[in-house]
Amino acid sequence: MTDLSSTIEARFRDALAKAFGDEHRATDPLVRLSTDERFGDYQANVAMSLAKTLGAKPRDVAASIVAALDAADLFERVEIAGPGFINLTLTNDALGRRVEAMHEDERLGVEPAPRERIVVDYSGPNVAKEMHVGHLRSTCIGDAIARVLRFLGHDVIGQNHLGDWGTQFGMLIEYLMESGGAVSREIGDLNAFYQEAKRRFDGDPEFAERARLRVVALQRGDAETLELWRTLVDASKRYFDTIYERLDIDRSLLEYRGESAYNDDLDDVIRGLDEAGLLRESEGALVVYPQGFKGRDGEPLPMIVRKRDAGYLYATTDLAAARYRLNVLGATRVIYVTDARQSQHFAMLFQTLREAGWAGPNIRLDHVPFGTILGPDRKPFKTRSGDVVRLGEVIDEAEERAYAIVAEKNPSMPEEEKRRVAHVVGVGALKYADLASERIRDYVFDWNRMLSLDGNTAPYLQNAYVRIRSIFRKADADGIAYEGFGRVKIVEEAERALALKLLQLPAVVRGVAESLEPHRLCNYLYELASAYHRFYERCPVLSADDETRRSRLRLCDVTARTLKTGLELLGIATVEQM
């Protein structure tokens, strides 16, 4: 079954064609959710905009559309109001039948999109460095986007573009050799290792020289050096995996493919740019000048692809990675989830890929920028001493704070269960706070707000789910039968509002895949949970008569699945009790 908004839109396109000629099938009927219940459930606003081109009065246009509209099985009322709004009220019967169809559908009415291979580049921490809050947003937003696209049926490859190459590895490997060659220490103290190496490098010119030679050895593929490099990379991956696991990041969507994977392609990138006629030399460096960019001096802004000392940069690696994703993996869409400060870099990168002919007109390249996490002082989130906040410590605190709340609200819960719930609630709250506001904006990190049980938070949504599950536990305990559930009868206003909200899921998921804005899904789930809570207050389920009970249990069940699925798409788990 086509989802509700698409169905309504299609009806209006038919009506427009019938009333004003076939060419008007292409006119957007401007079907929107009504802002006020007095204006019905949906409204079509096309009459006002069409009146001018048709040279008719808007209300007459509206009347013609309504006369041509096939409304029989769908709308209770179709009313023309104000300057020419067409207000639509769905029949309770249509709502009930659509909720039943949604309930029967494993995908909750979300139809698969035409399958595309899509690469999503996110997380991207640096080898031999600890992850910090700066990595949280890319990791959570990227994971959510990858999950949504997969749910829509796409072939999604998440790639972790690790910072696993570069001059700093000379220093790290040299220091590793000095300190015995083994990373036996299980990398909770990667930062310490990095900083010790840096201190050695800064404080001892003789060591610094050895580090520089070590870079050369690494680049020419010296076996012993490479092995130590691999030791560092592997140890770091083990550490990243522990963080990803604690954050409930879907590792089946995220493969490690660091910068080093493209080392052998970099010469060829330069050659390709040359063949495309884009390569220029400037002050000893090799650069390209993508169209439309100016520097401080008003002159064309170069993107440097090879340094004066013949070294390569992230632009080169990014070009190589993009070529790999397009040519080898066959992606038709590549999505980069990085902070907003890199916007210009990606704009230049995309422009270069277009000009080189490496990304054709049918390839979508998206930069998904996001703002900074701010502390309570509205400055970038740091510890009191001004250091970066370690991601592991943030997760610890999220779980501790959630544990304290769970223990207070539900003291009789077994200890192990409390720990599990604290994890799900704490990490869910942390991730949800990151996803819930428009991602381009900076957001203020606030433990109390994100863990609040009121408002647009993960715990509020998780609790709505828990309350539903609680009803089913009681039903099972009391031996109340509900197999097959029965028809969904919409009677009460709260049932109606809940049904309407449920049926919006497909349009919301599609919108997220298009805009790459997970906060839209958050808003939807919050509205759904609110609608459910109102239903819960006003509509007793188990104490109702059998027919009503079966109907309401079915509403409960489809709501629970929608909440659970929606939260899963955000990378957030649910629990049965909390």
Partner RNA sequence: GCCCCGAUAGCUCAGGGGAUAGAGCGUCCGCCUCCUAAGCGGAAGGUCGCAGGUUCGAAUCCUGCUCGGGGCACCA
> In the complex with RNA, which residue's Cβ is closer, 6 or 452?
452
**Tokens of residue 135, six digits:** 């990595």
**Tokens of residue 71, six digits:** 């409304």
CA-CA distances (angstroms) from residue 560 to 108, 135, 373, 416? Answer: 11, 31, 31, 24
- Contact status, residue 110 vs residue 10, Cβ threshold 8 Å: no
C-alpha 280/C-alpha 538 separation (Å) is 71
Choose the binding region for RNA from 226-234, 260-268, 321-329, 464-472 (rule: CB under 7 A).
464-472
Q: Should residue 294 be labelled a site residue for RNA when binding is judged by CB under 7 A?
A: yes
As measured in angstroms, the least distance from the Cβ of 160 to RNA is: 13
DSSP letter, residue 75: E
Q: Should residue 115 be labelled a site residue for RNA when binding is judged by CB under 7 A?
A: no
As measured in angstroms, the least distance from the Cβ of 106 to RNA is: 26
C-alpha Rg value of the chain to the nearest Å: 28
Residue with tokens 């719930």: 421
- Contact status, residue 365 vs residue 359, Cβ threshold 8 Å: yes
CA-CA distances (angstroms) from residue 219 to 216, 226, 258, 271, 475? Answer: 5, 9, 15, 20, 66
As measured in angstroms, the least distance from the Cβ of 418 to RNA is: 9
Choose the binding region for RNA from 99-107, 146-154, 282-290, 351-359 (rule: CB under 7 A).
282-290
Question: Which of 449, 486, 507, 568 forms a contact with RNA (CB under 7 A)?
Answer: 449
> In the complex with RNA, which residue's Cβ is closer, 483 or 537?
537
Phi, psi of 77 (to 5 degrees): -140, 140
Question: Which of 282, 291, 327, 383 forms a contact with RNA (CB under 7 A)?
Answer: 282
As measured in angstroms, the least distance from the Cβ of 414 to RNA is: 13
Strand boundaries in 167-266, DSSP class E: 254-256
CA-CA distances (angstroms) from residue 59 to 17, 62, 182, 404? Answer: 18, 5, 80, 60
DSSP letter, residue 78: E
- Contact status, residue 340 vs residue 440, Cβ threshold 8 Å: yes
As measured in angstroms, the least distance from the Cβ of 52 to RNA is: 5
As measured in angstroms, the least distance from the Cβ of 182 to RNA is: 27
CA-CA distances (angstroms) from residue 399 to 249, 343, 437? Answer: 16, 34, 22
Choose the binding region for RNA from 19-27, 75-83, 222-230, 560-568 (rule: CB under 7 A).
75-83
- Contact status, residue 36 vs residue 51, Cβ threshold 8 Å: no
As measured in angstroms, the least distance from the Cβ of 400 to RNA is: 15
Question: Which of 27, 520, 557, 568 forms a contact with RNA (CB under 7 A)?
Answer: 520
Q: Should residue 64 be labelled a site residue for RNA when binding is judged by CB under 7 A?
A: no
Q: CB atoms < 10 A from the CB of 37, how many? A: 12
Site for RNA in 152-191 (CB under 7 A): 163, 166
Question: Which of 22, 73, 264, 537 forms a contact with RNA (CB under 7 A)?
Answer: 537
Site for RNA in 295-354 (CB under 7 A): 295-296, 298-299, 301-302, 304, 307-308, 311, 313-314, 340-345
Question: Which of 87, 89, 160, 352 forms a contact with RNA (CB under 7 A)?
Answer: 87
- Contact status, residue 539 vs residue 492, Cβ threshold 8 Å: yes
C-alpha 333/C-alpha 511 separation (Å) is 16
* 19: Cα separation from own chain's centroid: 42
From residue 32 to residue 61, the character string flagging contacts with RNA as x (rule: CB under 7 A) and all else as - is: x-xxx-xxx--x-x--xx--x-----x---
Q: Should residue 198 be labelled a site residue for RNA when binding is judged by CB under 7 A?
A: no
The helix (run of H) or strand (run of E) holding residue 304 is strand 303-306
Choose the binding region for RNA from 148-156, 208-216, 266-274, 570-578 (rule: CB under 7 A).
570-578
> In the complex with RNA, which residue's Cβ is closer, 167 or 383?
167
Q: What 3 state SS string does 464-521 have?
A: HHHHHHHHHHHHHHCCCCCCCCCCCCCCCHHHHHHHHHHCCHHHHHHHHHHHCCCHHH
Site for RNA in 380-409 (CB under 7 A): 405-406, 409
Q: Side chain identity at 161, as an amino acid letter?
A: H
As measured in angstroms, the least distance from the Cβ of 18 to RNA is: 21
As measured in angstroms, the least distance from the Cβ of 372 to RNA is: 6
With CA atoms as reference, report the closest residue to 321 among 154, 163, 130.
Answer: 163
Choose the binding region for RNA from 10-18, 226-234, 502-510, 541-549 (rule: CB under 7 A).
541-549
Site for RNA in 226-255 (CB under 7 A): none
> In the complex with RNA, which residue's Cβ is closer, 1 or 54?
54
Question: Which of 68, 81, 226, 363 forms a contact with RNA (CB under 7 A)?
Answer: 81
Question: Which of 139, 463, 504, 565 forms a contact with RNA (CB under 7 A)?
Answer: 463
Q: Should residue 144 be labelled a site residue for RNA when binding is judged by CB under 7 A?
A: no
Question: Which of 56, 71, 444, 513 forms a contact with RNA (CB under 7 A)?
Answer: 444
Choose the binding region for RNA from 203-211, 239-247, 355-363, 462-470 (rule: CB under 7 A).
462-470
Question: Which of 28, 67, 70, 83 forms a contact with RNA (CB under 7 A)?
Answer: 83
Q: Should residue 460 be labelled a site residue for RNA when binding is judged by CB under 7 A?
A: yes
- Contact status, residue 99 vs residue 555, Cβ threshold 8 Å: yes
The helix (run of H) or strand (run of E) holding residue 202 is helix 190-203
DSSP letter, residue 128: T
> In the complex with RNA, which residue's Cβ is closer, 135 or 332?
135
Question: Which of 208, 251, 542, 557 forms a contact with RNA (CB under 7 A)?
Answer: 542
Q: Should residue 259 be labelled a site residue for RNA when binding is judged by CB under 7 A?
A: yes
> In the complex with RNA, which residue's Cβ is closer, 212 or 467?
467
> Strand 85-90 relative to strand 42-44: parallel, antiparallel, unpaired?
antiparallel
Question: Which of 159, 530, 548, 551 forms a contact with RNA (CB under 7 A)?
Answer: 530
As measured in angstroms, the least distance from the Cβ of 434 to RNA is: 11
Q: Should residue 285 be labelled a site residue for RNA when binding is judged by CB under 7 A?
A: yes
First to last CA, the chain: 36
Within 8 A by CB and 6+ apart from 49, the residues are: 30
As measured in angstroms, the least distance from the Cβ of 86 to RNA is: 8
Q: Side chain identity at 356, as an amino acid letter?
A: A
Question: Which of 287, 288, 430, 508 forms a contact with RNA (CB under 7 A)?
Answer: 287
Is the CA virtual torsion 355, 295, 346, 367 positive or negative? negative
Q: Should residue 257 be labelled a site residue for RNA when binding is judged by CB under 7 A?
A: no
